[in-house]
Amino acid sequence: MRIVLVVHGFPPHECTGVETHVEALARALARRGLEIEVFSTRADPRAPDFALRSETREGFRLTWVVQNRVPTSAREHAERPGAVLAFGEYLDRVRPDLVHFHHVHKLGIGALEQAVQRGIASLYTAHDYFPACHRLILARPDLRRCESLGDARACARCDRAVAYLDGLGRWSDWQAGVLPANLDAAERSELARRLEQDDAPATREREALDRRRLAAFAGLDLLLAPTRFLREQLIAAGHARERIELCEYGIELAPLAELAAPRDGGEAPLRFGYLGGAHKHKGLQVLLEAYASLRLPAELHLHADSSDREHVAALRARAAQIGALWHGAYRAEQLPAILGSIDVLVVPSIWWENAPFVIREAFAAGRAVVASDVPALRESVQHEQDGLLVTPDDPRALADAMERLLAHPELAARLASGTRAPRSLDELCDELIARYQVLIARHARELPATLPPSVRGFAERALELERSTIDELAARASRGLQALARSLGCEAPAAQGATAAEPALERLRDARREIRWRIAQSDGGPELERLRTAHGEQSKALDATRAELERSRVDGERARAALQAANTELERRAAQNAALEGAQSAAQLALELEQRAHEQARSALQAAAAALAQASSERELLELSRARLQQELSDARARLQQGDERATRLEAELAQLAQGAAALQAHASWLEAEAAALAGHFGTGPQRLRNVEDFRAAHAAWQRIDAELRWRRAEMAALREEGGRLVRALVERSALGRRLRGWGAGA
């Protein structure tokens, strides 16, 4: 995002609250990666009015518009045609995504219109009452607070009073008003008369200017207010409530977080301090009178300055007279040391003060605050909690509050401990960036959805170039010329000529701005003649500028002719190259498509072959498995048949063996009977011997039968296991199976 921050003054030339805040904000936003530009004003007697001068700062670029003339009427205060034109030229050159106005007091309300007319996202932070009061501070030139917001007649009276004070010519810069001591009795009387009587022409002019101001602000996307009171004042002045949002200030906390605690006044005198502008409405004169009346010892340190030199001189003289220490202006980097050197901050404003940055800085440093009791300050200082609020423009009331702190050290300590760190600058940046993104998106230009594709690329390129700054376009053109020159083997004199003519062009632009502003301020006749007469030397400078530009133009024409010839040749070659590249692209595309088709066909064939091979393998395996199963079944059937035959033989043999066993059993029984008879007679004849031999023969036969039975049993067990699971399944329920189980059980 490219963001422009606009403010009426900038350090080091102006260093009060708003200016130093915008400087800190620019650095912080730049650290976030945003492209930050700052536009401001300043006086510079070395340059003509409305000249633009730029310089690089820490992370951002600062551009000044020079304003040496002081406005002499209400219209000149409101409308600065020369400055507005210069700001418009600046916007055309920078082409920002968003403009964040912080003040246009010295630029004029036309600066707001310049951003709106270009369709740039824009918002305004109201640091004071300028959108509602052309005098910024809701105070009359006699420094009495205004109670007539939005009343064109009252505003016209202020205009007439300002014109009277300007006409006195007594002060170099009297700022927002004068004190009674600045005028004699007759002057005070005339000022009072102008502030009480109406003037119809002045009222009509003020009504027109106020309508113009209201309309200019209405064109912005958003207004931000740091306090609720300020927001309500803007609404009362005619601004739409829904377009004004609260946005609390943020400050850099880190430099102030480690300061030593303040004194409480118990052992050493309490140190009161003032930091800020020395303008009359800031109330320094009230603080000096309050300090002069203190009955207890204390110190007063004044870090202040103003362009109102006469008032500053009077303040310094009074400070020296009563023993207050005047330190003058200070830089932002000195702030921590200054806050560390005081114990209590005093804000004695006599105007409708808004939201001073210095109060937040004091709280971040742990310092209590004594401030004027005005509505907006009640939103910053909590009475009896982190500070004291006193009646504004009342030296006695302020002195009483200071003496109360001096007499009661525990009160100063309690108020200091009641302070809380305010919002940080980083938190403010987060909120602002989110707002920036929303507003920029609202203004973003989008190409029509119906745009033909053939021209969309060109339109996108044109939109990109439209968003580029003049500097970016110039740099791009310079790079293109340099690249072309290198390709042709020559230099690019046009770029050198443009660079050499830049100072002359700047002088010419300054002169044109001056002339345009003079014409806008008059009817273009007598004033223009006076301008010509008064600026003879400037005419000579313009003639010299024209001569220098003519020489630069001749050089540029020569270079342009050479570049045009080279460009023609390059275009012809580019056309040939484009045709060749088109044919090559078509051939390459066809080749790629053919290769892609071949690859897809090859992949399909490979996949089919793999599937076929896999199917063939699976079929062979199935065939082999089926043949194996058939063979195993045939083998099982043969073994089953053999087993049946063997079982039949075994059954016959077993039957015979059973018969033999029965005969042997009977013979054994007879032998036992005979043996018993023989034992009874103890006979030893031949018959006994024959019986013994028969017994031995029978026993041997029995042993042979037993061996045969054991062998048969083993053979049946082997047959039972030989067929495997399939055979066992087939014979398990058959007669052979039952016999096999019987043999197994008999084993």
Region 338-351 average pLDDT: 96
Mean pLDDT of 462-485: 67
In terms of average pLDDT, the best of 421-430, 532-541, 548-557, 599-608 is: 421-430
Q: Are strands 61-66 and 270-277 parallel, antiparallel or unpaired?
A: unpaired
Does the global pTM surpass 0.85?
Answer: no
Strand order in the sheet with 52-56: 52-56, 61-66, 35-42, 2-6, 98-101, 121-125, 222-225, 244-246
Answer yes or no: is pLDDT of 568 > 70: no
Looking at domain 264-422, which CATH architecture does it have? 3-Layer(aba) Sandwich (3.40)
Residue range 534-563, pLDDT digits in tens: 555 555 655 665 566 566 566 656 656 655
Percentage of residues in the chain with pLDDT exceeding 90? 49
Over the stretch 139-152, which tens digit does the pLDDT of each residue have? 999 999 988 888 99
Domain locations along the chain: 264-422, 599-746
Computed over every residue of the chain, the mean pLDDT equals 82
For CA atoms 547, 553, 557, 558, give the dihedral sign: positive
Q: How confident is the model at residue 172 (pLDDT cuts 50, 70, 90)?
A: confident
Quote the CA–CA distance of 167 and 709 in Å, as a whole number: 154
- Residue 80's pLDDT is what? 85
CB neighbours (10 Å) of residue 693? Answer: 10
Asked if residue 341 has pLDDT above 90, the reply is yes
Give the pLDDT mean for 235-250.
95
Q: Element (H or E) spanning 244, and its range?
A: strand 244-246
Q: Which two tokens stand for residue 562?
A: 């050479």
Helix 470-488 / helix 536-681 crossing angle, nearest 10 deg: 80
In 3-state terms the chain splits into helix, strand, coil percentages (rounded to 5) of: 65, 10, 25
Burial status of residue 207 (CB atoms within 10 A of its CB: 0-12, 13-18, 19 or more):
middle
Instruction: Give residue 95's pLDDT.
Output: 93
